[in-house]
Amino acid sequence: MSLETPLHRVQGLGSAHSGVKHFWRERVTAAALIPLSLWFVFSVLLFVGKTESEIAAYFQHPWNALLMATFVIVTCVHMMLGLQVVIDDYVHHPGQRIVLLLLNRAFAWLVGGLSLVALLRLVGG
């Protein structure tokens, strides 16, 4: 006899309360970052020796602005998921873990948010 409710059984999540979503999102963002990070590194290499206004003009191009925004967002999501695994694996004290997991979220939002606001200011002129 099982004490599981039918809903609990059909959700198939067990005691972890979550399924493969984290794993899958980490892989999807990783795959997206293959072209995006290549674009980012080649862009930065292109900036070497360039003036401030030339680099600003590069990001003001619509395609480059879109790619940079996408790079920042996808990187921050991937970063948040990856650092979460590191915290889950190495921080065993539940209180410390929860605080660090929240700080991890805050860090990703802060870095991503600041980058996007700066990019919007740059594009808006």
Partner 1 sequence: MADNPQTPPVRGRPLSPHLSIYKWPVTMATSITHRMTGIAISAGMVLVAWGLIALASGPELYQPFTAALANPVGLIVLFGFLWSLTYHFLNGIRHLAWDLGYGFEVPTANRTGVFVMALSVLISAGAFAYAWWMLSKSVPI
| Interacting residues with partner 1 (CB under 8 A) | 27, 30-31, 33-34, 37-38, 41, 45, 48-49, 52, 55-56, 59, 68, 72, 75-76, 79, 82-83, 86, 107, 111, 114-115, 118-119, 121-122
Q: Please report, to the nearest 10 degrees, the dihedral formed by the alpha carbons of residues 18, 22, 27, 29 taken in order.
A: 140
Least Å distance between CB 124 and partner 1?
9
Residue 76: other Cβ atoms inside 10 A = 20
Write down the residue that tokens 């020796």 correspond to: 49
Least Å distance between CB 93 and partner 1?
20
Nearer to partner 1, 8 or 56 (CB): 56
Nearer to partner 1, 17 or 121 (CB): 121
Token pair of 88, please? 């889950």
| φ/ψ bin of 93: left (φ > 0), alpha (ψ from -120 to 50), beta (otherwise) | beta
Nearer to partner 1, 13 or 31 (CB): 31
